[in-house]
Amino acid sequence: MINVVIPTFNAEAYVDKLLHALRSQSVDCEALLIDSSSTDGTLCVAAGHDVKTSIIKKTDFNHGKVRNLGAQACTGDVVVFLTQDALPCDNQCIENLIRPLDDPRIVGSYARQIPYQDAPPPEKFARLFNYPNVPTVKGLQDLPKFGIKTFFFSNVCSAIKIKEFKELGEFPENIVMFEDMIFAAKAILHGYKIAYTPEAKVFHSHDFSLKQQFQRYLEAGISLHNNNWLLRYATGNSEGVRFLKEEMLYLLKRAQYRWIPYILAESVGKYMGYWLGLHYDSLPDRIRKNFVSYNNA
Protein backbone atom coordinates (compact mmCIF):
# COMPACT_ATOMS: atom_id res chain seq x y z
CA MET A 1 0.00 0.00 0.00
CA ILE A 2 1.38 3.40 -1.03
CA ASN A 3 0.50 6.32 1.24
CA VAL A 4 -0.37 9.48 -0.74
CA VAL A 5 -0.45 12.83 1.07
CA ILE A 6 -2.46 15.65 -0.55
CA PRO A 7 -2.66 19.11 1.04
CA THR A 8 -5.97 20.77 0.09
CA PHE A 9 -7.68 24.11 0.35
CA ASN A 10 -10.91 24.85 -1.55
CA ALA A 11 -10.11 21.96 -3.89
CA GLU A 12 -13.68 20.99 -4.79
CA ALA A 13 -12.94 21.44 -8.50
CA TYR A 14 -10.02 18.98 -8.39
CA VAL A 15 -10.42 16.40 -5.67
CA ASP A 16 -13.00 14.08 -7.26
CA LYS A 17 -10.96 13.52 -10.42
CA LEU A 18 -7.77 13.18 -8.42
CA LEU A 19 -9.15 10.55 -6.04
CA HIS A 20 -10.68 8.59 -8.93
CA ALA A 21 -7.27 8.65 -10.65
CA LEU A 22 -5.56 7.33 -7.52
CA ARG A 23 -8.11 4.55 -7.17
CA SER A 24 -7.35 3.41 -10.74
CA GLN A 25 -3.58 3.19 -10.21
CA SER A 26 -1.76 -0.09 -10.88
CA VAL A 27 -0.54 -0.10 -7.27
CA ASP A 28 -2.80 0.21 -4.23
CA CYS A 29 -2.88 3.77 -2.89
CA GLU A 30 -4.21 5.11 0.39
CA ALA A 31 -4.83 8.85 0.25
CA LEU A 32 -4.67 11.28 3.18
CA LEU A 33 -6.09 14.75 2.58
CA ILE A 34 -4.80 17.41 4.95
CA ASP A 35 -7.27 20.22 4.53
CA SER A 36 -6.66 23.83 5.56
CA SER A 37 -10.29 24.44 6.63
CA SER A 38 -11.80 24.66 3.15
CA THR A 39 -14.92 26.77 2.76
CA ASP A 40 -16.20 24.98 -0.35
CA GLY A 41 -17.30 21.38 -0.87
CA THR A 42 -13.84 19.78 -0.73
CA LEU A 43 -14.58 17.65 2.34
CA CYS A 44 -18.04 16.68 1.09
CA VAL A 45 -16.54 15.39 -2.15
CA ALA A 46 -13.80 13.57 -0.24
CA ALA A 47 -16.42 11.91 1.95
CA GLY A 48 -17.68 10.08 -1.13
CA HIS A 49 -14.33 8.31 -1.48
CA ASP A 50 -12.40 5.84 0.64
CA VAL A 51 -9.96 8.48 1.86
CA LYS A 52 -8.65 9.71 5.19
CA THR A 53 -8.95 13.41 6.03
CA SER A 54 -7.34 15.65 8.59
CA ILE A 55 -8.30 19.29 9.10
CA ILE A 56 -5.96 22.06 10.21
CA LYS A 57 -6.48 25.78 10.63
CA LYS A 58 -5.74 27.78 7.49
CA THR A 59 -3.33 29.91 9.53
CA ASP A 60 -1.37 26.78 10.49
CA PHE A 61 -0.55 25.91 6.89
CA ASN A 62 2.88 25.94 5.38
CA HIS A 63 4.24 23.64 2.72
CA GLY A 64 6.74 21.81 4.89
CA LYS A 65 4.64 21.47 8.03
CA VAL A 66 1.55 20.01 6.38
CA ARG A 67 3.57 17.44 4.43
CA ASN A 68 5.50 16.44 7.53
CA LEU A 69 2.20 15.84 9.31
CA GLY A 70 1.11 13.60 6.46
CA ALA A 71 4.36 11.66 6.38
CA GLN A 72 4.22 11.09 10.13
CA ALA A 73 0.85 9.40 9.67
CA CYS A 74 2.14 7.01 7.00
CA THR A 75 2.51 3.32 7.71
CA GLY A 76 4.54 2.22 4.67
CA ASP A 77 8.13 2.58 3.54
CA VAL A 78 7.38 5.24 0.92
CA VAL A 79 5.27 8.40 0.96
CA VAL A 80 3.95 10.07 -2.19
CA PHE A 81 3.16 13.77 -2.18
CA LEU A 82 0.67 15.31 -4.62
CA THR A 83 -0.74 18.80 -4.91
CA GLN A 84 -4.49 19.18 -5.25
CA ASP A 85 -4.27 20.45 -8.84
CA ALA A 86 -2.02 17.65 -10.13
CA LEU A 87 -3.72 14.78 -11.96
CA PRO A 88 -1.99 11.50 -12.89
CA CYS A 89 -1.95 11.11 -16.67
CA ASP A 90 -2.41 7.33 -16.58
CA ASN A 91 -2.78 4.40 -14.21
CA GLN A 92 0.98 3.69 -14.18
CA CYS A 93 1.95 7.05 -12.69
CA ILE A 94 2.56 6.05 -9.08
CA GLU A 95 4.11 2.69 -9.99
CA ASN A 96 6.57 4.45 -12.32
CA LEU A 97 7.24 7.17 -9.75
CA ILE A 98 8.31 4.78 -6.99
CA ARG A 99 10.30 2.37 -9.19
CA PRO A 100 13.63 4.28 -8.92
CA LEU A 101 13.44 3.95 -5.13
CA ASP A 102 14.40 0.28 -5.51
CA ASP A 103 17.95 1.64 -5.86
CA PRO A 104 19.33 1.99 -2.32
CA ARG A 105 21.21 5.15 -3.32
CA ILE A 106 18.05 6.98 -4.46
CA VAL A 107 15.98 8.59 -1.71
CA GLY A 108 13.48 10.59 -3.77
CA SER A 109 11.79 10.60 -7.16
CA TYR A 110 9.68 13.26 -8.86
CA ALA A 111 7.37 13.18 -11.85
CA ARG A 112 7.14 14.94 -15.18
CA GLN A 113 4.56 17.72 -15.37
CA ILE A 114 2.43 17.98 -18.49
CA PRO A 115 0.57 21.29 -18.95
CA TYR A 116 -3.20 21.20 -19.12
CA GLN A 117 -4.59 21.76 -22.61
CA ASP A 118 -5.92 25.21 -21.74
CA ALA A 119 -2.66 26.45 -20.20
CA PRO A 120 -1.32 29.71 -21.72
CA PRO A 121 1.68 29.33 -24.09
CA PRO A 122 4.31 30.64 -21.61
CA GLU A 123 3.15 28.10 -19.04
CA LYS A 124 3.26 25.29 -21.59
CA PHE A 125 6.82 26.25 -22.44
CA ALA A 126 7.85 26.38 -18.77
CA ARG A 127 6.68 22.79 -18.24
CA LEU A 128 8.49 21.59 -21.36
CA PHE A 129 11.67 23.40 -20.32
CA ASN A 130 11.74 22.22 -16.71
CA TYR A 131 10.31 18.73 -17.24
CA PRO A 132 11.79 17.16 -20.39
CA ASN A 133 11.21 13.56 -21.43
CA VAL A 134 14.68 12.49 -20.31
CA PRO A 135 15.21 10.64 -17.01
CA THR A 136 18.05 11.78 -14.79
CA VAL A 137 19.58 10.78 -11.48
CA LYS A 138 21.52 13.55 -9.74
CA GLY A 139 24.00 13.39 -6.91
CA LEU A 140 27.09 15.09 -5.53
CA GLN A 141 29.03 14.47 -8.73
CA ASP A 142 26.64 16.74 -10.64
CA LEU A 143 27.20 19.88 -8.55
CA PRO A 144 30.13 21.22 -10.64
CA LYS A 145 28.02 21.02 -13.81
CA PHE A 146 24.52 21.96 -12.64
CA GLY A 147 25.14 23.95 -9.46
CA ILE A 148 21.96 24.64 -7.50
CA LYS A 149 19.86 23.00 -10.25
CA THR A 150 21.26 19.69 -8.97
CA PHE A 151 18.82 20.06 -6.09
CA PHE A 152 15.72 20.57 -8.25
CA PHE A 153 12.84 18.52 -6.87
CA SER A 154 9.08 19.02 -7.01
CA ASN A 155 6.43 18.05 -4.49
CA VAL A 156 3.75 18.53 -7.14
CA CYS A 157 4.23 14.79 -7.53
CA SER A 158 7.06 13.14 -5.62
CA ALA A 159 7.93 9.96 -3.73
CA ILE A 160 10.33 9.75 -0.80
CA LYS A 161 11.58 6.88 1.35
CA ILE A 162 10.17 7.37 4.85
CA LYS A 163 13.22 6.10 6.77
CA GLU A 164 15.64 8.46 5.05
CA PHE A 165 13.08 11.27 5.12
CA LYS A 166 13.02 11.13 8.91
CA GLU A 167 16.78 10.67 9.21
CA LEU A 168 17.35 13.82 7.14
CA GLY A 169 15.06 15.89 9.33
CA GLU A 170 11.95 15.93 7.10
CA PHE A 171 10.93 19.16 5.34
CA PRO A 172 11.84 22.53 6.84
CA GLU A 173 8.81 24.23 8.39
CA ASN A 174 10.05 27.80 8.77
CA ILE A 175 9.97 28.50 5.05
CA VAL A 176 7.53 29.94 2.52
CA MET A 177 8.42 27.59 -0.34
CA PHE A 178 11.23 25.35 -1.68
CA GLU A 179 10.76 22.81 1.10
CA ASP A 180 11.16 20.14 -1.59
CA MET A 181 14.40 21.53 -2.99
CA ILE A 182 15.91 22.00 0.47
CA PHE A 183 15.13 18.39 1.34
CA ALA A 184 16.72 17.25 -1.94
CA ALA A 185 19.79 19.39 -1.21
CA LYS A 186 20.20 17.81 2.23
CA ALA A 187 19.79 14.34 0.75
CA ILE A 188 22.37 14.91 -1.99
CA LEU A 189 24.86 16.55 0.36
CA HIS A 190 24.54 13.45 2.57
CA GLY A 191 25.47 11.24 -0.37
CA TYR A 192 22.03 10.18 -1.59
CA LYS A 193 20.64 10.66 -5.10
CA ILE A 194 17.44 12.16 -6.49
CA ALA A 195 15.69 10.74 -9.56
CA TYR A 196 13.68 12.65 -12.15
CA THR A 197 11.25 10.09 -13.55
CA PRO A 198 9.43 11.32 -16.68
CA GLU A 199 7.69 7.96 -17.12
CA ALA A 200 5.57 9.15 -14.18
CA LYS A 201 3.43 11.95 -15.59
CA VAL A 202 0.89 14.32 -14.08
CA PHE A 203 -1.13 17.09 -15.62
CA HIS A 204 -0.22 20.32 -13.83
CA SER A 205 0.02 23.96 -14.83
CA HIS A 206 -0.99 27.42 -13.68
CA ASP A 207 -2.34 30.62 -15.19
CA PHE A 208 -0.68 33.22 -12.99
CA SER A 209 -1.00 36.96 -13.47
CA LEU A 210 2.10 39.17 -13.56
CA LYS A 211 1.41 40.15 -9.95
CA GLN A 212 1.20 36.49 -8.89
CA GLN A 213 4.47 35.68 -10.69
CA PHE A 214 6.16 38.59 -8.92
CA GLN A 215 4.84 37.30 -5.58
CA ARG A 216 6.05 33.75 -6.22
CA TYR A 217 9.55 34.88 -7.16
CA LEU A 218 9.62 37.21 -4.18
CA GLU A 219 8.79 34.23 -1.97
CA ALA A 220 11.43 32.16 -3.76
CA GLY A 221 14.01 34.86 -3.02
CA ILE A 222 12.92 35.05 0.62
CA SER A 223 13.19 31.29 0.97
CA LEU A 224 16.74 31.31 -0.38
CA HIS A 225 17.58 34.35 1.73
CA ASN A 226 16.54 32.38 4.81
CA ASN A 227 18.56 29.36 3.65
CA ASN A 228 21.49 31.22 2.16
CA TRP A 229 23.80 28.20 2.46
CA LEU A 230 22.19 27.11 -0.82
CA LEU A 231 23.45 30.21 -2.60
CA ARG A 232 27.03 28.95 -2.56
CA TYR A 233 25.91 26.49 -5.25
CA ALA A 234 24.29 29.17 -7.44
CA THR A 235 26.14 29.77 -10.71
CA GLY A 236 24.69 33.09 -11.92
CA ASN A 237 21.85 33.97 -14.28
CA SER A 238 22.81 31.89 -17.34
CA GLU A 239 19.88 29.49 -16.86
CA GLY A 240 17.41 32.37 -16.70
CA VAL A 241 18.83 33.88 -19.88
CA ARG A 242 18.65 30.52 -21.66
CA PHE A 243 15.05 30.10 -20.51
CA LEU A 244 14.03 33.48 -21.94
CA LYS A 245 15.81 32.90 -25.26
CA GLU A 246 14.23 29.50 -25.76
CA GLU A 247 10.84 30.81 -24.68
CA MET A 248 11.05 33.57 -27.31
CA LEU A 249 11.88 31.00 -30.00
CA TYR A 250 9.04 28.77 -28.82
CA LEU A 251 6.53 31.59 -29.19
CA LEU A 252 7.90 32.82 -32.50
CA LYS A 253 7.78 29.36 -34.07
CA ARG A 254 4.13 29.10 -33.08
CA ALA A 255 3.27 32.66 -34.21
CA GLN A 256 2.26 33.53 -30.63
CA TYR A 257 3.49 37.10 -31.07
CA ARG A 258 1.06 38.72 -28.66
CA TRP A 259 2.69 36.83 -25.78
CA ILE A 260 6.14 38.32 -26.35
CA PRO A 261 5.46 41.63 -24.50
CA TYR A 262 3.94 39.56 -21.69
CA ILE A 263 6.97 37.32 -21.22
CA LEU A 264 9.31 40.32 -21.28
CA ALA A 265 7.24 41.99 -18.54
CA GLU A 266 7.03 38.67 -16.71
CA SER A 267 10.82 38.24 -16.81
CA VAL A 268 11.33 41.72 -15.33
CA GLY A 269 8.76 40.97 -12.61
CA LYS A 270 10.36 37.63 -11.78
CA TYR A 271 13.83 39.17 -11.52
CA MET A 272 12.60 42.07 -9.38
CA GLY A 273 10.66 39.78 -7.07
CA TYR A 274 13.58 37.38 -6.69
CA TRP A 275 16.08 40.20 -6.05
CA LEU A 276 13.83 41.84 -3.46
CA GLY A 277 13.36 38.48 -1.75
CA LEU A 278 17.10 37.90 -1.54
CA HIS A 279 17.45 41.37 0.06
CA TYR A 280 14.38 40.97 2.23
CA ASP A 281 16.06 42.22 5.42
CA SER A 282 16.79 45.54 3.74
CA LEU A 283 13.13 46.28 3.01
CA PRO A 284 11.08 48.52 5.33
CA ASP A 285 8.84 46.62 7.75
CA ARG A 286 5.67 48.22 6.34
CA ILE A 287 6.50 46.70 2.94
CA ARG A 288 7.70 43.32 4.15
CA LYS A 289 4.55 42.48 6.08
CA ASN A 290 2.43 42.95 2.95
CA PHE A 291 4.55 40.79 0.67
CA VAL A 292 4.43 37.18 1.79
CA SER A 293 1.37 34.98 1.30
CA TYR A 294 1.00 31.25 1.73
CA ASN A 295 -0.63 29.05 -0.90
CA ASN A 296 -1.24 25.35 -1.45
CA ALA A 297 -0.27 25.01 -5.10
User: Which 3-state string (H, E, C) describes the chain?
Assistant: CEEEEEEECCCHHHHHHHHHHHHCCCCCEEEEEEECCCCCCHHHHHHCCCCEEEECCHHHCCHHHHHHHHHHCCCCCEEEEECCCCEECCCCHHHHHHHHHHCCCEEEEEEEEECCCCCCHHHHHHHHHHCCCCCEEECHHHHHHHHHHHHCCCCCEEEEEHHHHHHCCCCCCCCCCCHHHHHHHHHHHCCCEEEEEEEEEEECCCCCCHHHHHHHHHHHHHHHHCCHHHHHHCCCCHHHHHHHHHHHHHHHHCCCHHHHHHHHHHHHHHHHHHHHHHCHHHCCHHHHCCCCCCCCC
CATH of the domain at 41: 3.90.550.10
- Say if residue 106 is in the same domain as residue 171: yes
pLDDT at 240: 85
Instruction: Please state, as a whole number, how many other Cβ atoms lie within 10 Å of the Cβ of residue 28.
Output: 10
Residue 54: its pLDDT value, please?
96
Looking at the fold, whether 284 and 266 belong to one and the same domain comes out as yes
| Residue among 126, 139, 246 nearest 196 (CA) | 139
Any domain includes 140 = yes
297 is a domain residue: no
Q: Is the domain of 123 the same as that of 187?
A: yes
pLDDT value for 40? 96
Q: What per-residue confidence (pLDDT) applies to 236?
A: 66
| Residues of the chain with confidence (pLDDT) below 70 | 236-237, 286-297
Do residues 247 and 188 both lie within one domain?
Answer: no
In which domain, by residue range, is 253 found?
Answer: 210-288
Contact (Cβ atoms closer than 8 angstroms) between residue 171 and residue 179: yes
CA distance 82 to 99: 17
Domain boundary among 169, 203, 237: 203
Indicate the residue among 140, 175, 203 that finishes a domain. Answer: 203
| Tally of domains within the chain | 2
Q: Do residue 181 and residue 243 come from a single domain?
A: no
Q: Are residues 7 and 127 in the same domain?
A: yes
Predicted local distance difference test score (pLDDT) of residue 91: 98
Residue 294 lies in a domain: no
Does this model's pTM top 0.75? My answer is: yes
**Does 174 lie in the same domain as 51?**
yes
Q: Is residue 158 domain-resident?
A: yes
The pLDDT of residue 238: 77
293 domain-assigned: no
Check whether residue 103 and residue 238 sit in a common domain. Answer: no
Q: Are residues 231 and 267 in the same domain?
A: yes
pLDDT digits (tens, 9 = 90+) for 198-237: 999 999 999 999 999 999 999 999 899 889 899 889 876 6
Q: Are residues 194 and 214 in the same domain?
A: no
Burial of 105 (0-12, 13-18, 19+ CB in 10 A): exposed
Q: Same domain, yes or no, for 149 and 256?
A: no
Same-domain status, 80 and 131:
yes
Residue 13 covered by a domain: yes
**Last residue within a domain, chosen from 148, 180, 203:** 203
